[in-house]
């Protein structure tokens, strides 16, 4: 498969995700000042129930993480049939979500190095897979255009199967790293 469409797709996916991430960090500026003011007055937020038990086995956690990330991955690939719209939305939302998490964590006093240590090991393969799926999903408009022009062939569609498979492997690797490395590091860092 030619490299120019892939390069352009990866650049576009990265720009969309990156813009979302910057917007997510920017969105935390005002809420953080509210949290700081609340902390200065001694106000305490309500206790939020834990999403899962801390003694959950890593294998079960790994399967849950893989399933959640696979769902995001498949939504990114849906851009092939939605003219890139789902891909655009999921990339932007995913960027905003991570940007907000980073902004709130650092704004609440977590050292940026600690945040990076807890996210980068699994984020590298996970984000790589998401950007790959984004590049594939953003090919939807070109495929749809070729379909309507009558010049559609299955070759470009068949050419995405192997990279899509690589992305699933990357998501599995990220899930293993997150369950067996990141979670124990986070628990050790918080004294849990």
d(CA 173, CA 57): 17
Mean pLDDT taken over the chain? 83
CA distance 19 to 27: 12
- Long-range contacts from 106-112, C-beta under 8 angstroms, 24+ separation: 107/28, 107/32, 107/35, 108/32, 108/35
Q: What is the pLDDT, as a whole number, of residue 1? A: 46
Q: What is the pLDDT of residue 187?
A: 80
Closest by Cα among 23, 25, 4 to 15 = 23
Among the ranges given (21-30, 111-120, 155-164), the one the predictor scored with the smallest mean pLDDT: 155-164
**pLDDT confidence band for 48 (50 / 70 / 90):** very low
Residue range 59-63: mean pLDDT, rounded: 93
- The model carries a pTM of 0.80
Distance (Å, rounded) from C-alpha 92 to C-alpha 79?
Answer: 13
Residue bearing the bigger pLDDT, 188 or 42: 188
């Amino acid at each position: 498969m030619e490299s120019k469409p892939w390069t352009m797709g990866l650049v576009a996916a990265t720009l969309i995700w990156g813009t979302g991430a910057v917007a997510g960090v920017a969105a935390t500026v005002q809420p953080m000042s509210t949290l700081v003011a609340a902390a200065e007055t001694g106000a305490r937020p309500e206790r939020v129930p834990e999403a899962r038990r801390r003694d959950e086995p890593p294998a079960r956690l790994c399967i849950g993480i893989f399933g959640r990330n696979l769902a995001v991955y498949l939504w990114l690939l849906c851009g092939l049939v939605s003219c890139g719209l789902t891909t655009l939305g999921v990339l932007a939302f995913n960027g905003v979500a991570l940007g907000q998490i980073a902004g709130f964590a650092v704004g609440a006093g977590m050292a940026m190095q600690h945040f990076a240590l807890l996210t980068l090991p699994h984020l590298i393969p996970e984000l790589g897979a998401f950007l790959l799926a984004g590049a594939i999903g953003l090919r939807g408009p070109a495929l749809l255009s070729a379909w309507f022009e009558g010049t559609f062939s299955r070759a470009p569609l068949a050419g995405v199967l192997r990279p899509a498979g690589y992305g699933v492997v990357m998501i599995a690797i990220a899930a293993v790293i997150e369950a067996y490395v990141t979670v124990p590091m986070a628990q050790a860092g918080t004294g849990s």
